[in-house]
């Protein structure tokens, strides 16, 4: 199953909302520190799209498990069913173009067993069709999340994977090196992790690089057919974009949802700095 869908492919589809098998569209615009996504959604969105809030519906309350821990499954299920999500209908997710929030929704749906979820390549910034401001009221879906369809890492799992496989740190290089840390209490990275910023997964227009180029990138970082791969970031959002990029390249990777925000919540966990893993 393809992990992304092009703007042209989505626009060419019949968007009649009364068709039983039309793709459900989710608008997951989100940006760390704002502006809020809902006002942007209300100002204009792809016709038929339903807004989903990352902080309250795709993540649990921040705490020791990180700034964006896994959501309560009942809350997530209710949000998805309200948006019209059913296991029998494909889902297309988009954000403003960064790809982080859309990938988080993609990962959660795939992790909980949805068989057909794709991210709009380039997000709303790539959309060439009309926008609407009316809020749709879709027929409620029947999606029941069953977690475990994709690999998930705990903090201990991530530490072990950094020793035996390939653990990728998807944050900016200066945060990985420990030179700056604008959000979390400690700067640096998980010992053994290799830096692979999400900016390296996309072209200047925000669309993902072709699959063969992504495969070459990850191979250069140490990902081979036999390598066990995991990804983390600051709070498990941008890392989902890297897991998506790896999927486009044909590589399955586990997500450490708690990521650096959970790792540094325990002062006993080791921290590395500098360019080397």
Query: Active-site positions?
Result: 233
Tokens 């979820």 appear where?
117
Q: What share of the chain is helix, strand, coil (3-state, %, to 5)?
A: 30, 15, 55
CA 182/CA 171 separation, integer angstroms:
12
Q: What are the φ/ψ torsions at residue 271 (nearest 5 degrees)?
A: -130, 135
Tokens 């990985």 appear where?
176
Among 136, 94, 88, CA closest to 119: 94
Give the pairing type, strands 229-232 and 166-169. Answer: parallel
Among 147, 86, 95, 144, CA closest to 117: 86
CA 238/CA 233 separation, integer angstroms:
6
């Amino acid at each position: 199953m393809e992990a992304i869908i092009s703007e042209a492919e989505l626009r060419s589809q019949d968007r009649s909302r009364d068709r039983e098998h039309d793709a459900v569209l989710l608008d997951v615009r989100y940006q760390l520190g704002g502006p809020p996504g809902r006002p942007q959604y209300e100002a204009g969105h792809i016709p038929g799209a339903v807004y989903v809030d990352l902080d309250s519906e795709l993540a649990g309350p921040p705490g020791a498990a990180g700034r964006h821990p896994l959501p309560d499954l009942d809350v997530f299920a209710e949000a998805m069913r309200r948006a019209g999500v059913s296991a029998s209908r494909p889902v297309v997710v988009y954000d403003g173009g960064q790809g982080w929030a859309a990938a988080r929704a993609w990962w959660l749906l795939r992790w909980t067993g949805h068989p057909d979820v794709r991210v709009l390549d380039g997000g709303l910034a790539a959309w060439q069709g009309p926008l609407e401001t009316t809020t749709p009221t879709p027929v409620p879906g029947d999606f029941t999340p069953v977690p475990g369809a994709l690999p998930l890492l705990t903090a201990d799992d991530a530490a072990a994977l950094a020793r035996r496989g390939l653990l990728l740190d998807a944050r900016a290089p200066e945060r990985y090196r420990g030179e700056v840390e604008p959000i979390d209490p400690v700067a640096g990275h998980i010992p053994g992790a290799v830096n692979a910023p999400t900016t390296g997964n996309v072209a200047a227009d925000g669309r993902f690089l072709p699959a063969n180029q992504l495969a070459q990138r990850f191979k250069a970082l140490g990902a081979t057919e036999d390598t066990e791969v995991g990804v983390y970031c600051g709070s498990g959002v941008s890392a989902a974009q890297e897991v998506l990029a790896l999927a486009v390249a044909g590589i399955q990777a586990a997500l450490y949802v708690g990521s650096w925000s959970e790792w540094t919540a325990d002062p006993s966990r080791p921290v590395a700095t500098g360019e080397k893993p």
